[in-house]
């Protein structure tokens, strides 16, 4: 509302200054009731009027037709000024409406730009918008965790492989030892059997 008043005051001031300048320029033209400014028409009536003195006072005698003409011109000018003021008010109201619309569009554009900027600087993670910094932190944390798990699995696999190889070696050695033990046992058994057979043969001979 204050902006409207200031704008209206400025427009009226410019209008008055313009009209005054026009009146100053037109004052030099020939005075008439049919053309010129209201000021020049008053001056015309003043110059065309007669005067006389009575009781020590000066009176001006003006023709009624000139006074009626001047009155009509004044009313016409006032009507024109009022019409012009109404047009200016309408124009100002239109400008204010346009400004209001532009402000709303500017606000919408600003909000849209902020949303686009936020979306540009953010990424979707599990259905949520997070900043790129947070997203990168989470992503690299997951990668680091997976790499740590992979290294742990590799270490366990290598250890298990080493243990498996050691177990195979131990089993092979145990099998060789068992085979050697079985061979020696078999040899002892064969030796005992031969000795037993020799004893049996001796006993048969002695009989």
pLDDT tens digits for range 11-70: 466 555 565 555 555 444 577 767 777 777 777 777 777 676 767 777 666 677 777 777
Instruction: Give the distance, in angstroms, between the CA of residue 159 and the centroid of all CA atoms in the same chain.
Output: 55
> Residue 51: in which H helix or E strand, if any?
strand 50-54
The average pLDDT across 124-140 equals: 73
Tell me which residue of 142, 84, 59 sits closest to 92, measured CA to CA.
84
Q: What is the pLDDT of residues 95-111, one digit of tens each?
A: 888 899 999 989 888 88
Q: Can you tell me the distance from the alpha carbon of 29 to that of 36, in angstroms, rounded to the nearest whole number? A: 8
What is the pLDDT, as a whole number, of residue 27? Answer: 45
Per DSSP, the three-state class of 37 is coil
What is the pLDDT, as a whole number, of residue 182? Answer: 83
Q: What percent of the chain has pLDDT over 70?
A: 74
DSSP secondary-structure letter at 128?
E
**In this structure, are residues 135 and 123 in contact, taking their beta carbons and an 8 Å threshold?**
yes
What is the pLDDT, as a whole number, of residue 114? Answer: 76
Q: Can you tell me the distance from the alpha carbon of 26 to that of 17, in angstroms, rounded to the nearest whole number? A: 14
What is the pLDDT, as a whole number, of residue 22? Answer: 55
DSSP secondary-structure letter at 58?
E
What is the pLDDT, as a whole number, of residue 23? Answer: 53
Residue of higher predicted confidence among 8 and 133: 133
Q: What is the pLDDT of residues 173-189, one digit of tens each?
A: 888 888 888 888 888 88
What is the pLDDT, as a whole number, of residue 131? Answer: 72
Residue 97's Cβ-count burial label (10 Å; 0-12, 13-18, 19+) is exposed
Q: Can you tell me the distance from the alpha carbon of 142 to that of 91, in angstroms, rounded to the nearest whole number? A: 64
What is the pLDDT, as a whole number, of residue 125? Answer: 59
Cα–Cα separations (whole angstroms), residue 93 to 4, 9, 90, 122, 168: 8, 14, 5, 43, 98
Residue of higher predicted confidence among 71 and 159: 159
Residue of higher predicted confidence among 130 and 140: 140
Question: Does position 129 have pLDDT exceeding 80, yes or no?
Answer: no
């Amino acid at each position: 509302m204050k902006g409207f008043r200031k704008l209206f005051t400025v427009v009226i001031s410019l209008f008055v200054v313009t009209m005054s300048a026009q009146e100053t320029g037109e004052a030099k033209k020939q005075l008439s009731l049919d053309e010129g400014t209201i000021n020049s028409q008053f001056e015309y009536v003043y110059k065309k009027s007669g005067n006389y003195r009575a009781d020590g006072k000066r009176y001006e005698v003006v023709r009624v037709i000139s006074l009626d003409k001047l009155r009509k011109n004044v009313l016409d000018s006032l009507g024109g000024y009022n019409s012009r003021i109404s047009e200016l008010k309408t124009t100002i109201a239109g400008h204010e409406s346009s400004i209001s619309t532009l402000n709303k569009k500017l606000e919408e554009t600003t909000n849209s730009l902020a949303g686009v900027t936020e979306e540009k600087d953010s990424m979707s993670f599990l259905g949520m918008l997070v900043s790129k910094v947070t997203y990168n932190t989470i992503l690299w944390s997951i990668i680091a965790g997976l790499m740590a798990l992979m290294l742990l699995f590799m270490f366990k696999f290598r250890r298990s492989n080493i243990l498996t190889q050691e177990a195979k070696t131990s089993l092979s050695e145990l099998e060789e030892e068992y085979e050697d033990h079985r061979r020696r046992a078999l040899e002892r058994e064969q030796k005992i059997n031969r000795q037993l057979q020799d004893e049996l043969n001796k006993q048969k001979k002695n009989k």
